[in-house]
Amino acid sequence: MDVDFKALTLEEAAAHKADALVFAITDPSDGQTSPPTHGSSSPLAQWVQQVIDSGDLEAGAGKWLMSHSGGQCQARRVVLVRVGDGSPAAVRKGLLGALGALRQPGVKKVVVCTHLAQLQVGAWQAAVVAVADATYAYTTTLSKPKPRSLSSLVFVSDGPVGADAQAEVRVGQAVVEGVELAKEWANRPSNHATPTKLAQAAEKLARCDNVKVEVLGPKEVVKLGMGAFMAVAQGAQEPLRFIVIHYRGADKDQAPVVLVGKGVTFDTGGISIKPAAEMDEMKFDMGGAASVLGTMRTVAVLQPRLNVVAIIPACENMPDGRAVKPGDVVTSMSGQTIEILNTDAEGRLILCDALTYAERFKPACIVDVATLTGACVIALGHVRSGLFTESEELAQGLLQAGERALDLCWRMPLDDEYAEGLKTNFADMANVAGRAGGAVSAAKFLQKFTQSQQWAHLDIAGTAWKSGTSKGATGRPVGLLVAFLLAQQGQTAKRKSKSTRKGD
C-alpha cells in the first residue's frame, strides 16, 4: 500500500481522482458548533457543512456517515468520519470504522482529507496503521483469495505537511510491514507454518542490511544442553528450530536489546492433551515468535542506531510415544532441573532455555513475548498484554511504548510468594503451580532463569489473536516492541552525548 501526502484546497481535493474520499473531522471544541469548511464555495464543501450543521454526524470518535457523492467530486463515495480530539487513539478508532466500510473490491485508491481535523502528535502514524488494519486480508491458503484491494492512500491537507508528520508515516509504514508479517505467520495453519518454514521466513530477513540469521537444529540444541526445549519437541515428527536474528545498527560494543519469542507452531498440550473444542486456535501459539519476527522486519526497514538480537525457539508440542510425560524431570541449559507436572505448560520450558542462551550476548535488557497462560486472559481480557518485570526502568519503558503505539500492556505483580507453588521434592522446581495466579507463577518460573539480567515478560495470550467471526492474529505487540526499541535508540544517543561532554 503506497502512502503519499498532497497539499490541496478542498476544491482540488474534490477534483482528485480516487475511489473514495474520506473527510476526517475533529469534534467541535468548547463554544464551537462545527468545524468551518474554510469558507469554500465548492458543492462538496457546502454539503459537508450541511451534514455537520444538521447533526446527522454525531460527535464522538468513530462516528461516520457514508454517501455517494452525486457528482460533487471525482470520487464516487464520500465518508465523513469523526476523529474525536485528533489524538492517535481517536484517529485510529475513526479510520478503522471508515475504512472498514470501504472494504470493497472496487476501492483501490482512497484520499483522506484532513482539512477539518486538528491532528495531534502520533496521529499520522496511527492513521497509517489503522488503514492497514482495516483493510488487511489473509490469502495464503485460500483457493480463491481476495487480497487487499486498497493499493493507494493519499493524505491531503490545505498546506505542506511537516517533516515530523512525514517521519510518522514512514514509521507507520514500517510498523505495518512488521505487523502484517506477524499476522501472516500466526494465521497460517500449522502445516503451513512448521518450525522449518518459520526458520526459512527468518532467513529471508538476512537479505536486509545489517541483519544476520542463524538457525540451529536438534543436534546443535542437544549440544547446548537445552534439555527443557528438547523435552517439549521430542514428541513431534517436525524437527525443532532455534532461530537467532542479529541486527547490528550501532557499534559492536553496544549491548543489544534481546527479544525472545515463544514459537510453539502447534500446541496439542502433549500428554496433558487439550480439549478438542477450539484446539485449532493453537496454531496461534507461536504469536510471540511471529511478533518478534515482525518486529525484526520493521527494524530492518527503519535501520535504527542500536543492536537487537531476536531469539525464537520453535517446535510443536505433540503427544506421541516419545513425548515427555507428567512427572518427568529434565535439566535445562542453566543446569536447573524441572519436574514437568503438566506437559501443556510447555511455553515456559522452551523459553527458559532461550533466556539462558540470551545471556551470552551480555544484553542491555531481555524482553520475552509469549502466548503463555489462559490465566492472563482471565485477568486482563483482550485489551492489554500482561507485563512482568522487577525493573522500574523496563516497566516504564514498555508501558510508555504501549501507550504511544496504542498497543497497551498492564504491569502485574512478581511477589516471591507466587513462586511457592513451584516447589517440588523431585527437582529444583516444577513447571506449574496451582490454578490461582497462574499468569504470575508462570512469570516467576521464567524469572528463575533471568536472575542476573534486566528482564521483562509480556504475556500476550489475550491480545495476540481474536476469536469468533473475526478470528485471526492481531500482530500485537509489534507496535509496542518497535516503539520500545526506537526509544532505546534515543536513550543510547543521549547517554553517548553526555559521555562525550564529560570527556571534553
The answer to whether 106 touches 19, Cβ cutoff 8 Å, is yes
Same fold, 2-161 and 176-494: no
The residues spanned by each domain of the chain are: 2-161, 176-494
- Per-residue DSSP letter, 135: H
Considering only CA atoms, give the Rg of the chain: 25
Domain 176-494: which CATH number of 2.60.40.10, 3.90.180.10, 3.40.50.300, 3.40.630.10: 3.40.630.10
pLDDT tens for the chain, 504 residues: list them.
899 999 998 888 889 999 999 999 999 876 555 555 555 667 777 888 888 888 888 889 999 999 887 677 889 899 999 999 999 999 999 999 999 999 988 899 999 999 889 999 999 999 999 999 999 999 999 999 999 999 999 999 888 888 999 999 999 999 999 999 999 999 999 999 999 999 999 999 999 999 999 999 999 999 999 999 999 999 999 999 999 999 999 999 999 999 999 999 999 999 999 999 999 999 999 999 999 999 999 999 999 999 999 999 999 999 999 999 999 999 999 999 999 999 999 999 999 999 999 999 999 999 999 999 999 999 999 999 999 999 999 999 999 999 999 999 999 999 999 999 999 999 999 999 989 999 999 999 999 999 999 999 999 999 999 998 889 999 999 999 999 999 998 776 555 555 444 555
- Catalytic residues, by residue number, are 274, 348
Query: Grid coordinates in use for 378?
Result: 482471565
Rounded to whole angstroms, the Cα distance separating 286 from 185 reads 8
- Per-residue DSSP letter, 250: S
Domain 2-161 in CATH: superfamily? Leucine Aminopeptidase, subunit E, domain 1 (3.40.220.10)
Please tell me the predicted confidence (pLDDT) of residue 494.
57
The answer to whether 290 touches 479, Cβ cutoff 8 Å, is no
Which residue stretches of 136-225 are H helix? 163-187, 195-204, 218-224
Please tell me the predicted confidence (pLDDT) of residue 276.
95
- Give the residue among 123, 400, 302, 260 at the shortest CA–CA distance from 112: 123
- In the chain, the N- to C-terminal Cα span, in Å, equals 48
